[in-house]
Structure formats: C-alpha cells, structure tokens
Amino acid sequence: MFNSFETYETYIYSLPTRYPLVASSTLVFVRRGRYIAVVRGEVKFQSNIRLRIYEELVALPTIEITSYSYEVWQGEEKLYWYDPQPHPNNPTLASTHPHHKHTPPDIKHHRLPAPGFSFTRPNLPLLIKEIEDELAQNFNV
C-alpha cells in the first residue's frame, strides 16, 4: 500500500533497480490534478517480453487504482492480459470479481480468476513475479 503519489511514483521509476529481470521501463507517472494520476508505458524483460501498463489512480488518502489494463506481449504476440471489466454472469470469476485474466486459446473470451489483484494494493509486484517465474520456467533465466 502506498500513502502518497510521491511514494508510488518513486516505486514506478525504481522498477528496473528493484527487479533484476527488468531490462528497461518507459513507464510515466502523470498527475491529472491533486487527487488523480495515470501510469502508462511498458516494462521490458529478457526474451522480448513486454508488460504494457495503464493505471488510473486516486489519492483518497491512500492510493487506489480506479481502472487498469495490463497486457503481456512477446514480440508481436499478445500472450495474455488482465482487466477489471465486470462479468457478473460468469460464476467462475466470482472469487476475484471483477479482476480476471484473459488467456488463450480464445483470448478475448477465455477468462480466469486473478487472485491477489486489487484496487487498494499495487498489482505490479504480482505481474512482475508472474513474468519472472515464466521466464525462469520457460527460458532458464
């Protein structure tokens, strides 16, 4: 949990030094007023893996995520993505509603629960760990 935009911004800009497998980052933290901000850009990993990030944030008084989209790409192929678009009629997603992951084979319609995702805690550590684990498993990094 972050208590201010300043601490979240510092976290965003320090990702390449916090995580050894992060090769580079184009993330930017943009304030849209006193209580609203946006984070967007890409975090690049080894093996041509990219994490595209979009977050809308509010400070109430702690930082909360009001909307997000996280996409994982390898080259030009979208591997999967996460979003909080509600699907209340899908009982398999109830445990993490509205957070879920889109995966192949039918990436648009195949959805899985997203344990640990939240509007009140940062999701980036979960995403980065997931990518690091996949790189270690698939590419012996």
DSSP state of 56: E
Burial class (CB in 10 A: 0-12, 13-18, 19+), 1: exposed
The residue segments making up the domain with residue 9 are 5-139
The H-assigned helical ranges of the chain are 5-13, 15-18, 124-139
- The token pair that represents 6 in the structure block: 């300043």
Structural domains counted in the chain = 1
pLDDT tens digits along 19-72: 999 999 999 999 999 999 999 999 999 889 999 999 999 998 889 999 999 999
pLDDT given at position 139: 63
**Is 40 in contact with 51 (CB distance < 8 Å)?**
no
Q: Which residue has the tokens 């930082």?
A: 63
